[in-house]
């Protein structure tokens, strides 16, 4: 069992007081101790000098669509529904090779922004295109970060009053069988797990009530979590009212989709009563500020949700609605948007850091294992260099990390005590090759879509 000692570092543990100059002692994949002053003398330990650095928990991404790395830059000025309609046919052409390249690039980009754990919501499975779910799992395994893929689904196409074309939906029985197989094959519930599976029908406007209720029963029978999109736009609210006579949160309550084993993506348009319901039931949400801004969806009431005790984490969302968005940058986006709407005390830098770490861990049901720097937790640690020539003018390193428009250099990223990033360079995979594979995934997807007679556009209607 290896020993790592990080010394002379400013520690922001998220839980408990910060330590201006201290050490973190890692044994194997867990934090053995942390505290002020120098590290203990441990024979054969790997010693990391953290002088000029800030240590935080690794960031936790709680909403993504990794396959969308291959479809960035399209439908640039569209609303959510316009954007979806423009891209469904493109995504219908994807195959496992596209997903493998896109997922590798997307996850690598996340790791370079301090992310040690990421979820992914994959909900399109074109027939005969290979094992798409396995492709993204392999990408995460190669990189070495913790991965929570959510087996998504859609069973309500246009012919049944849904938004997506029928070509991208599956049958109810097919979905339930494939989802059960994904959980049985891949889900690892152990403390140190790097792979857990969630059950994730896509959204109220693309799935049936039967799928929602059956998926919830399946997930709870297997002890895994539930995830879907909710209350992202006013269009969605109007759709729910027209189709079922209920607002989105009320509809989820009817379907049994509230509770501490559920987290929703976005949750932008919530009433006071909705927020109280989330807080009382322990239901979580993934705040995706850049994607919400890109699509003109609105600004989630994050500060009010936190004030009322609701669980909030961060997500970068799919790259097709949040091009080249870093998870570290979403802390700043969240802070600025809350302050722009509610005033300068709406969200502090340390609250932004907390939702990016412990809030995300709570969404994924892993708050006992990750999300804060505490003895006994997994050694998922981001080490940010905050003493650069220009950054040195800011004496609060957490301010440097969250307020700055340029991410501080990532000196080290540890996942379970193992180095994934060092000096802004991926160490577990060839970084440049990973990026090029993401570019090739884009070109392959565009080519496959054209072969199906569909040409992707930067603008809707062009």
Nearest Cα neighbor of 183 from 199, 172, 194 is 199
Q: Which two three-digit tokens encode residue 335?
A: 């802070």
| Rg of the Cα atoms in the chain | 21
Q: Is the dihedral of CA 251, 256, 259, 262 positive or negative?
A: negative
Stretches where the chain sits below pLDDT 70 are: 459-462
pLDDT score of 217: 98
> 214-226, pLDDT tens digit by residue?
999 999 999 999 9
Q: What is the dihedral of CA 440, 442, 448, 451, to 10 degrees?
A: -110
Indicate the SS3 state at residue 226: strand
* CATH architecture, domain 3-56+373-426: Roll (2.30)
Domain ranges of the chain: 3-56+373-426, 59-364
- State how far the Cα of 49 lies from the Cα of 39, in Å rounded to an integer: 10
Percent of the chain as helix, strand, coil, to the nearest 5? 40, 20, 40
Extract the tokens encoding 285.
């949400």
> What pLDDT is attached to residue 458?
73
Residue 168: which of 87, 244, 64 has the closest Cα? 87
| pLDDT one-digit tens code per residue, 274-313 | 999 999 999 999 999 999 999 999 999 999 999 999 999 9
- Going by C-alpha positions, the residue among 12, 13, 11, 32 that lies closest to residue 23 is 11
Q: What are phi and psi of 395, to 5 degrees?
A: -90, -10
Contact assessment for residue 149 and residue 122, using Cβ atoms and an 8 Å cutoff: yes
Tell me how far apart the alpha carbons of residues 71 and 441 are, in angstroms, rounded to a whole number.
Answer: 9
Query: CATH class for domain 59-364?
Result: alpha beta
Which residues lie across from 325 on neighbouring strands?
A: none
Q: List, in order, residues 6 or more apart from 332 with CB less than 8 Å away.
A: 352, 402, 403, 404, 405
User: Residue 460: its pLDDT value, please?
Assistant: 62
Given this model, what pLDDT does residue 461 score? 52
């Amino acid at each position: 069992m290896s020993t790592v000692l990080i010394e002379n570092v400013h520690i922001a543990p998220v839980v408990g007081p910060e330590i201006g100059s201290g050490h973190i002692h890692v044994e194997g994949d867990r934090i053995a101790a942390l505290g002020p002053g120098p590290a203990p003398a441990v024979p054969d330990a790997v010693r990391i000098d953290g002088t000029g650095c800030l240590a935080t928990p690794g960031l936790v991404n709680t909403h993504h669509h990794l396959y969308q790395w291959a479809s960035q830059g399209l439908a640039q000025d569209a609303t959510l529904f316009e954007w979806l309609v423009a891209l469904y046919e493109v995504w219908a052409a994807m195959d496992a090779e596209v997903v493998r390249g896109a997922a590798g690039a997307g996850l690598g980009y996340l790791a370079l922004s301090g992310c040690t754990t990421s979820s992914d919501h994959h909900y399109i499975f074109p027939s005969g295109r290979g094992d798409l779910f396995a492709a993204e799992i392999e990408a995460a395994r190669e990189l070495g970060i913790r991965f929570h893929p959510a087996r998504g689904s859609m069973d309500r196409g246009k012919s049944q009053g849904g938004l997506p074309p029928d070509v991208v939906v599956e049958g109810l029985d097919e979905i339930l069988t494939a989802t059960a197989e994904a959980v049985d094959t891949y889900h690892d519930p152990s403390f140190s797990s790097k792979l857990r599976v969630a059950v994730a029908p896509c959204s109220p406007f693309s799935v049936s009530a039967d799928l929602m209720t059956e998926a919830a029963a399946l997930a709870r029978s297997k002890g895994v979590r539930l995830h879907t999109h909710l209350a992202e736009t006013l269009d969605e609210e109007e759709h729910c009212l027209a189709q079922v006579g209920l607002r989105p949160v009320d509809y989820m309550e009817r379907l049994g989709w509230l509770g501490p084993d559920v987290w929703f993506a976005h949750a932008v348009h919530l009433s006071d009563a909705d927020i109280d319901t989330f807080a009382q039931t322990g239901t979580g949400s993934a705040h995706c500020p850049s994607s919400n801004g890109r699509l003109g969806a609105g600004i989630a009431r994050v500060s009010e949700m936190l004030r009322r005790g609701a669980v909030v984490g961060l997500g970068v969302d799919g790259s097709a609605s949040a091009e080249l968005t870093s998870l570290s940058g979403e802390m700043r986006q969240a802070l600025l948007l809350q302050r722009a709407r509610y005033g300068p005390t709406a969200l502090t830098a340390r609250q932004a850091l907390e939702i990016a770490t412990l809030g995300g861990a709570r969404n994924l049901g892993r708050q006992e294992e990750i999300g804060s720097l505490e003895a006994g937790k997994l050694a998922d640690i981001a080490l940010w260099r905050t003493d650069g020539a220009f950054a040195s003018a800011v004496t609060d390193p957490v301010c440097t990390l969250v307020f700055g428009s340029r991410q501080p250099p990532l000196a080290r990223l540890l996942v379970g005590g193992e180095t994934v990033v060092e000096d802004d360079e991926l160490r577990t995979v060839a970084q440049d090759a990973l990026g090029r594979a993401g570019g090739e995934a884009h070109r392959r997807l565009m080519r496959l879509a054209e072969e199906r007679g569909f040409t992707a556009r930067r603008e809707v209607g062009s």
